[in-house]
Structure 1
Amino acid sequence: MKVSATDMDGNEQILALVHPAGVIGDLFAPFTQHDVVALTESQLCTFAKADLNRAVDAYPALTKALLRRSQ
């Protein structure tokens, strides 16, 4: 998948290429202004922020794993 943003002049900037099992999104921002385009057949698994917060509270190692994947 391709994560990109478009500037005010309409120019696209590719921010990331997400490979299988990759993470899309900013864990610490309330919202983002990025486009995500599937470059091949893809499946997504989404989590509500409240559910994710409960999971990282219950499993502290999850926080480190998510941070590693987001770099």
Structure 2
Amino acid sequence: MADMPDLAMLRLWRGAEHVHRLGPRALAELLAEIGAAHGCSAAILERLAAYRRLSPGMIRVAGADAFPPVLREVPR
């Protein structure tokens, strides 16, 4: 994600937060659509298998359970 422009990254974060609020079915539908459209369903399934090794507690302890705050420079 580091190679994304700041605005694109912010849009990704906000979109991810929204899909998360919609629940697991919406997330599965989104991943299936992306996989079908780009021929990468197998890669998505591999990444999902890797993420299954993580627990919510592990993510929380690592501080990776929320996006960092968006900081903006305030003009003087």
Question: Do they fold alike, i.e. is TM over 0.5?
Answer: no
Normalised by the length of structure 1, the TM-score is 0.31
After TM superposition, the score normalised by the length of structure 2 is 0.29
Question: Higher relative contact order at CA 8 Å, sep ≥6: structure 1 or structure 2?
Answer: 1
More helix by share: 2
**Higher-strand-fraction structure:** 1
- Structure with the greater alpha carbon radius of gyration: 2
